[in-house]
Every structure is written in structure tokens, then in C-alpha cells.
Amino acid sequence: MAQVLGIGGVFFKVPDLPGLRFWYTRVLGFDIADWGGAVFPPPTLGKTVGSPFAEDTGYFKPSETPFIINLIVDDIEAMVAKITTEGVPALDRQEMEGMGKFASIMDPTGIKIELWEPAET
């Protein structure tokens, strides 16, 4: 039977492509390939999640986009320290029992990025 196996990528349009690629490389450490994107190996911690939200959710705030990008990180404290040195403030921080630690930032285009250090299982 045919089935979806996971997320194959996140694709979105931006007005300043070179600038945003540089931002993702500088702030989040993306290794941007010559063809223009970053390839990540399958995560060894956490899972790939797809979840619709109600249209009136406040979870995506302060972003006005209809989506957020969740990135798995290996060390949330080190990542928050890195982004802070790049002048990008963490908008919120939380820890959810059984899920892990979270911090959110905004990219220069207004997309909310949720950083997630999954709980060890």
C-alpha cells in the first residue's frame, strides 16, 4: 500500500534569496549546497511531525505566516547562545515533559522557527 514516509523538505519563497541563505548559514549553521539548499541526515533523536492547527491559533505568533518551521537541535542551550551572539533573540522558551525543550526565533522574512531538543527516550 502507498503511504507517506515523512517530510521530504520545507520549501518557501523569499524576496532576498542570497540574504536569507546567508542568515540561515550564519545564525543556524546550515550547510547550503551549491544547488541552493541544505540536506540533513535522518534524525537520530526526535521524530518528523506534521500537525495542522486551528486557523485562529496563537501558537504561530508573532509570525503572520500560515506555517512554522520546527528544527531538531542537539543542544538547545548551545543553540540559543549561538543565535543570541548573532543578535537574534529567543522569543520564548519552554520545556514539555516527555517532549523536550523548545525555543522560538523569527527569521528575517517573518517565519517563526521553533528549535526543538527532543527529550531522550
- pLDDT, position 48: 87
Residue with cell 540536506: 39
CATH 3.10.180.10 fits 45-118, yes or no: yes
Domain boundaries of the chain, sorted by first residue: 45-118
Question: What digits encode the pLDDT tens for the residues 4-61?
Answer: 777 878 988 999 999 999 999 999 999 999 999 999 988 888 888 889 999 999 999 9
Mean pLDDT of the chain: 91
DSSP letters, 47-81, are --------TT-STTTT--SS-EEEEE-S-HHHHHH
Share of the chain above pLDDT 90, in %: 75
Query: What are the helix (H) ranges across the chain?
Result: 17-28, 76-85
- pLDDT, position 7: 80
- pLDDT, position 57: 95
- pLDDT, position 61: 94
Q: Please tell me the pTM assigned to this model.
A: 0.88
Does 113 have pLDDT greater than 90?
A: yes
Q: Across residues 67-77, what is the average pLDDT?
A: 93
Sorting pLDDT into bands at 50, 70 and 90, what band is 3? confident
